[in-house]
Amino acid sequence: MNRTAIILIAAAFWIPQSQAQGYPTKPIRVVIGYAPGGAAEAGIRPLAKLLEPSLGQPLVIENKPGNAGGVAMEFIAKAPADGYTLYYFDSGPLTVAPHLARVGYTLASFTQLGHVCGSGSMLVVHPATPFKSVADVIAASKAEPNKWSYGTSGVGGPHHLSGEYFKSVTGANLLHIPYKGGGPAMTDLMGGQVPMLFSSLGPAVGAVKGGKIRALAVTSLTRAAAFPDVPTMDELGLKGFESTAWFGLLGPAGLPPEVVTRWTQALAKAATDKAGMDLINATGCDVNIQSPAATVERIKTDIAKWGRVVKEANIKAD
């Protein structure tokens, strides 16, 4: 083998490694799967400000809405595995969507970078209802089957799953009323057109504090930072009850280990900034930075859990 061939072979092995070790050398695109103004954008913007000093490059946020995050998920699955196109994703497209329809990706299509934050649903009721507690809702629904209904932001969403999981665990008999978004659902609750909702936390803050609706419980295992006085379902006797939608960071399969390490280190450092974490908590998504390995296990657990709920409730995609 001549000297030129040896140099070329050595370069072929050296260049990718040196690029990964020098990563990042240019701005990083971080995709979110929804239109501007939603929970994903509310969370990634303060997180980006915490990560940029550690990474040494700006994070450029790009919206790719469509199919409840599925469009962005398929886009990332096909992106170059160089660490410059990543996804601040919500768990639904990975853990729920595959049970509802055929999707163009699997868990193996991605490299996980870490769990960032999670948010349970909140069971809220109109003040004119007789419900002062979760136990009241369960008892009334069993005494008068199909009389009581609950609204959500839509079929197959995290709050619909929270409601169906609640029914499965408690035996409550409630009729699901799907809306085309959380805003219309909350409007009808405040107007008395629907007696209760499983709702996201953010839109409920003002209504609960203003006394327009009453909060009974959250579906996360720990109390929400935005609602420290509202108990969890677990605290109220439904031991182990957890229904949370969560956000994390991922890239396409095959990201170099050095890139993954750089991101996990940046996330770990961001987690030590209390003021920054408080900004994310204030959006209704409680911070809980977890490793890539722990994130994969969480995804696998949720895939199995929500598969059972979807099957038992016979949930069909819109």
What's the half-sphere exposure (Cβ side, CA atoms, 13 Å) at 19? 13
Residues 111 and 250 in one domain: yes
**In a domain? residue 42:** yes
Domain boundary among 202, 218, 234: 218
Q: Where in the sequence is the domain holding 282, given as residue range(s)?
A: 28-119+244-313
The predicted pLDDT at position 154 comes to 85
The predicted pLDDT at position 21 comes to 57
The predicted pLDDT at position 318 comes to 66
Residues 61 and 104 in one domain: yes
Residues 174 and 249 in one domain: no
Place of tokens 């009974």: 216
Q: Point out the residues of the chain with pLDDT beneath 70.
A: 1-21, 318
The predicted pLDDT at position 14 comes to 39
Residues 134 and 179 in one domain: yes
pTM of the model: 0.82
Residues 204 and 127 in one domain: yes
- First and final CA of the chain: distance in angstroms? 62
Amino acid at 21: Q
Q: What is the CATH number of the domain that holds 291?
A: 3.40.190.150
The predicted pLDDT at position 301 comes to 95
Domain boundary among 170, 201, 218: 218
The predicted pLDDT at position 269 comes to 97
pLDDT tens digits for range 243-276: 998 999 999 999 999 999 999 999 999 999 999 9
Domain boundary among 184, 202, 218: 218
Residues 95 and 142 in one domain: no
User: Considering its fold, how many domains does the chain have in total?
Assistant: 2
The predicted pLDDT at position 201 comes to 85
Residues 149 and 295 in one domain: no
Q: Render 182-237 in DSSP notation, one character per residue.
A: HHHHHHHHHHTSSSEEEE-STTHHHHHHTTSSEEEEESSSS--TT-TTSPBTTTTT
Residues 115 and 248 in one domain: yes
Name the residue among 107, 79, 82 with its Cα closest to residue 93: 107
